[in-house]
Structure 1
């Protein structure tokens, strides 16, 4: 092949290669695969809580709220003592002020008497008698002197008694102050424990889905219903025939009028209540004050056999007397259950009964 044809062929091949590169480059630009998009991992649906696990949650909640109730009783008792001691300290302080004013007045009188005696002269009584122009006047004066001496002696005795009273008032105030500080510490510790237990319970419940919370509520109802059924099947209700007293009727009306109001630890109404706050306020409204806490209600009020129970009586629950409600008849109880619940009516036998007390026995 001649050199001209070889040159032409070489040029043609070069042009063809160039065109092919352009075409391939264009094709690569036009049909390149898109960037891969990140894929989302589907959210795994949490496995439903089994009935066994839900029952464990219910028991754990019961334990936490029970511990909160015990701490609430301790808080209420300490709060009551703090208020009483504060009142007593104020009373003692007032007595100290009055005593000090009395002592100052007695000192003024004693000083006046001493000055008068000094002005009476330093001669012995026999000398004053011989020197007197009128013996009878002297004798009258001597009688008044003796009266003054007796009065001064009585004045000094009263001063001594007043000083002793002041010392005792100060001692009592110091004792009450130490007790006040101790009860304030008890109250603070109880408050801390209450908040911690309620917080733990709320965290535990917050882990449940809505449907699981509904199942938990039904489970709680079932447990209460079973306990009530066992209590009723014992025949206890057939023996309860007593009618409420007039004060008991007033107490029942007050308590049932609070239905729907929220539970709040340490509360005595009118908008929120804890268990003993409800019962104590109900009986106060009926004109018969009772102790503030369920434990003191159990200790101080008259114990009644269940078969003699009547509306208005208080039912104390659990071995430590940490819960209380009011019997309203027909096997029913009105009470403030726990945090997150409202004042409600439930079966009187739905919890472990410790005993029954009667405020107006």
Structure 2
């Protein structure tokens, strides 16, 4: 089965599963509050459920995972910047070592020149010929004296310049070290935020009975189906015939080959991915390095109109650019959704679209 038919079939199955959900159950799940905890002294066994509708619980869980995604972007960006600063510190350290070695060589040269002057009574070698009564000898060596003076001046100037560079390298290294420590603190805070949001979302789900969790999943699928249907019915894809470039095809092949692998925040493969880790890895595999986070991909990559979209382009979601997926054609994306889910195919319009960017 070719990629277009396979993608269409996948979306059809998702939609069919949604339609098969019982209308009665859907209405009840959306509007009716969950049963309260049993009264004190009651022998009735029941899970501790929040007095909220399933739709409210779904929205709360979705919000927590969205916040975790934003914190994941902050973590990934801080990690990328810390890696860059670490590499810069190493480079500066090497430059400082090389600069110090150069200073020592220049000092040795200056010392040799000073010792030569001392041996000649404080005069450089060329000056001995200036004192001669032989005009020809004077003319022959006058130029040499000028060259020697210039060499000494250049030597002292090079020493001074090298010393200035050493001071600059040291200051830059200190600045980068400060930034490195700041980014490590950002990483630690972001990790704490991510863990807290994911834990809170999991706790909400765990407090639901198995039947309620199944209904919750159906509500999620129905919300995505409604959004995708409205997006397609808007005619947004009418006339869309953008063909993928060779690089785009490679990126799509890589991304779709990861379907079924779990979402793990901060992961860049090969066994698991977060949303921007998947898109970055796919485009690296296609020979085009792109930024690490969804927010940086949105900020730095060229923007294109949806009507000009083609497979391989990246669709960025939500106002804070906290999620991203790769367009694969036929109104679908491949993406790593969130913790607890696997890399999958989904409707490109099933979430709030911020815009589209094109890596290459």
TM-score range, shorter chain: 0.7 to 0.9
Indicate the larger mover: 169-178 or 275-284: 169-178
Counterpart of 2:319 in structure 1 is 319
| SS in structure 1 at match of 2:237 | helix
Are the aligned partners of 1:64 and 1:200 in contact in 2 as well (CA < 8 Å)?
Answer: yes
Counterpart of 2:28 in structure 1 is none
Counterpart of 2:158 in structure 1 is 158
| SS in structure 2 at match of 1:237 | coil
Are the aligned partners of 2:61 and 2:201 in contact in 1 as well (CA < 8 Å)?
Answer: yes
Counterpart of 1:266 in structure 2 is 266
Are the aligned partners of 1:275 and 1:323 in contact in 2 as well (CA < 8 Å)?
Answer: yes
Unaligned runs of 5+ in 2: 1-40
Q: What is the TM-score with the length of structure 2 in the denominator?
A: 0.83
Q: Distance in 1 between matches of 2:290 and 2:68?
A: 22
Q: What are the equivalent positions in structure 2 for 1:66-85 lying under 5 Å apart?
A: 66-85=66-85
Question: How far 1:237 moved relative to its partner?
Answer: 2.3
Q: Distance in 2 between matches of 1:123 and 1:334?
A: 80
Q: Structure 1 128/173 Cα, relative in aligned 2: closer, same or farther at 3 Å?
A: closer
Q: Structure 1 68/133 Cα, relative in aligned 2: closer, same or farther at 3 Å?
A: same
Q: Distance in 1 between matches of 2:77 and 2:347?
A: 28
Indicate the larger mover: 235-244 or 292-301: 235-244
Question: How far 1:45 moved relative to its partner?
Answer: 3.9
Question: How far 1:145 moved relative to its partner?
Answer: 3.4
Q: Distance in 2 between matches of 1:130 and 1:291?
A: 67
Q: Structure 1 101/54 Cα, relative in aligned 2: closer, same or farther at 3 Å?
A: same
Are the aligned partners of 1:239 and 1:308 in contact in 2 as well (CA < 8 Å)?
Answer: no
Q: What are the equivalent positions in structure 2 for 1:85-164 lying under 5 Å apart?
A: 85-122=85-122, 132=132, 134=134, 136-137=136-137, 140-164=140-164
Give the paired residue count: 319
Unaligned runs of 5+ in 1: 1-40
Q: Structure 1 121/328 Cα, relative in aligned 2: closer, same or farther at 3 Å?
A: same
Question: How far 1:129 moved relative to its partner?
Answer: 7.3
Cα-to-partner distance string for 1:238-292 (whole Å, 9 max, x where unaligned): 2322111111111111000000000011111000100000001101111111111
Are the aligned partners of 2:117 and 2:124 in contact in 1 as well (CA < 8 Å)?
Answer: no
Counterpart of 2:246 in structure 1 is 246
Counterpart of 1:30 in structure 2 is none
Q: Structure 1 169/287 Cα, relative in aligned 2: closer, same or farther at 3 Å?
A: same
Counterpart of 2:308 in structure 1 is 308
Q: Structure 1 177/281 Cα, relative in aligned 2: closer, same or farther at 3 Å?
A: same
Q: Distance in 2 between matches of 1:176 and 1:189?
A: 20
Q: Structure 1 51/250 Cα, relative in aligned 2: closer, same or farther at 3 Å?
A: farther
Question: How far 1:115 moved relative to its partner?
Answer: 1.0
Counterpart of 2:65 in structure 1 is 65
Question: How far 1:146 moved relative to its partner?
Answer: 3.2
Q: What is the TM-score with the length of structure 1 in the denominator?
A: 0.83
Q: Distance in 2 between matches of 1:334 and 1:129?
A: 84
Counterpart of 2:184 in structure 1 is 184
Question: How far 1:147 moved relative to its partner?
Answer: 2.4
| SS in structure 2 at match of 1:62 | helix
Q: Which has the larger radius of gyration?
A: 1
